[in-house]
């Protein structure tokens, strides 16, 4: 029996509504710190500190929300900080291993379109930043960059939240970065611009941060300098930061990079060239005895554990903020 006119009209309306959702502009996602305004950046850090101080006050902020946590790479801090962070806010975290899902079989755009119908938000930790951009383009819910080869923005937010926690203010701080000019360095540079901090980087020339990114940030007002000697980087530093020389997926470069990074270890001798108040940061996991020495990593000047803990609180602030972006009433046009 052919469907009656009322049923056909209803089906056509439902189809139109579904298509409108597919073709609507994507919601606001968070793929890089550069996407934030200065006010948004500082508000997120303040909110992260507020959540840390009074976690119970925010316990229902993600009630009835489901957050997909998609991983191409192994993880400790990203996975646990998001899972516990979502749960503490009343939401439900859903861990997804890229290798055991159909992300390996189907077009990424198709998988994300469907996944975004099941959940309220997607966090993805991937190799290629282009995958995140594609996900954000086709998702009907916000996408968070949990790490990519280009940037690690959640880490950068946690790092500057920790600096604010220790120093009280960010403007005028000098951050020394010694090591690989990688995704973490990119996010620190973007955050430094928002914070009004300056950066001195000592990296092997082959492993310096993106020249294009540096040019953009300098044009926007970032005080940054590349130096050849680690002692020059740390001599006026408030914060001394390093990261692993060998990122995941670069294991085949280990021997070459260890050789080329010789002399860039953050150790007691380097720390002696810095102001006595300077603190040491590392986003972890650390290769002890390589980019950082045991005595420095375990010293009272090391704040790496606080730094890791703060991932949870600033990510909670980020998720709440992204949901609020979706629910904000759209401004009406004046006639």
Full 3-state SS string of 312-323: HHHHHHHHHHHH
| Cβ burial 136-157 (10 Å sphere, 16+ → b, else e) | bebbbbbbbbbbbbbbbbbbbb
Rounded-to-integer distance, Cα 10 and Cα 320, Å = 36
Please give the chain's pLDDT, 335 residues, in tens. 567 888 888 878 878 887 788 788 889 999 999 999 999 999 999 999 999 999 999 999 999 999 999 999 999 999 999 999 999 999 999 999 999 999 989 899 999 999 999 999 999 999 999 999 999 999 999 999 999 999 999 999 999 999 999 999 999 999 999 999 999 999 999 999 999 999 999 999 999 999 999 999 999 999 999 999 999 999 999 999 999 998 877 788 778 899 999 999 999 999 999 999 999 999 999 999 999 999 999 999 999 999 999 999 999 999 999 999 987 655 544 43
Cβ-contact 159, 191 below 8 angstroms: yes
Where along the chain do its domains lie?
26-152+312-323, 155-308
Closest-CA residue to 273 (of 227, 233, 226, 224): 233
Residue 45 token pair: 């850090």
Q: For 26-152+312-323, CATH number?
A: 3.40.50.1370
Are both 26-152+312-323 and 155-308 of the same fold? yes
DSSP 8-state class, residue 79: H
Does domain 155-308 correspond to CATH entry 3.40.50.1370? yes
Q: Which strands, in side-by-side order, build the sheet including 121-125?
A: 92-97, 66-71, 121-125, 143-147
Spell out where the chain has E strands.
66-71, 92-97, 121-125, 143-147, 174-178, 198-202, 223-226, 239-242, 279-282
Global pTM reads 0.94
Active site residues: 125, 152, 155, 243, 283, 311
The confidence score (pLDDT) of residue 166 equals 98
Closest-CA residue to 224 (of 253, 251, 191): 191
The confidence score (pLDDT) of residue 333 equals 45
Cβ-contact 183, 155 below 8 angstroms: no
Rounded-to-integer distance, Cα 125 and Cα 74, Å = 9
Residue 84 token pair: 């516990």
Q: How far is CA 139 from CA 117, 122, 195, 281, in A?
A: 9, 9, 30, 34
Closest-CA residue to 266 (of 247, 249, 283, 248): 283
């Amino acid at each position: 029996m052919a469907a009656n006119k009322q049923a056909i009209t209803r089906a056509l309306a439902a189809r139109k509504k579904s298509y409108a959702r597919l073709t609507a502009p994507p919601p606001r996602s968070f793929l890089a710190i550069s996407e934030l305004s200065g006010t948004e950046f500082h508000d997120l850090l303040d909110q992260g500190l507020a959540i840390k101080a009074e976690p119970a006050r925010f316990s229902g902020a993600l009630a009835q929300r489901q957050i997909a946590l998609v991983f191409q790479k192994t993880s400790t801090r990203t996975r646990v900080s998001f899972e516990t962070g979502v749960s503490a806010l009343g939401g439900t975290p859903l861990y997804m291993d890229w290798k055991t899902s159909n992300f390996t079989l189907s077009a990424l755009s198709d998988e994300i379109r469907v996944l975004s119908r099941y959940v309220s938000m997607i966090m993805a930790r991937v190799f290629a930043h282009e995958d995140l951009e594609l996900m954000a383009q086709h998702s009907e819910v916000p996408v968070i960059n949990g790490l990519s080869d280009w940037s690690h923005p959640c880490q950068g937010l946690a790092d500057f939240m920790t600096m604010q926690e220790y120093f009280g203010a960010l403007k005028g701080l000098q951050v020394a970065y010694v090591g690989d000019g990688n995704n973490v360095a990119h996010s620190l540079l973007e955050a430094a611009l928002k914070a009004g901090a300056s950066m001195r980087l000592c990296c092997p020339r082959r492993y310096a941060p993106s020249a294009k990114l540096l040019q953009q940030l300098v044009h926007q007002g970032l005080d940054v300098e590349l130096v050849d000697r680690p002692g020059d980087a740390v001599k006026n530093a408030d914060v001394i930061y390093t990261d692993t020389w060998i990122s995941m997926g670069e294991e085949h470069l280990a021997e070459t990079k260890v050789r080329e990074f010789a002399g860039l270890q953050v150790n007691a001798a380097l720390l002696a060239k810095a102001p006595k108040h300077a603190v040491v940061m590392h986003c972890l996991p650390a290769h002890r005895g390589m980019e950082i020495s045991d005595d420095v990593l375990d010293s009272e000047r090391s704040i790496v554990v606080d730094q890791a803990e703060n991932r949870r609180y600033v990510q909670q602030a980020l998720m709440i903020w992204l949901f609020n972006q979706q629910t904000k009433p759209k401004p009406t046009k004046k006639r």
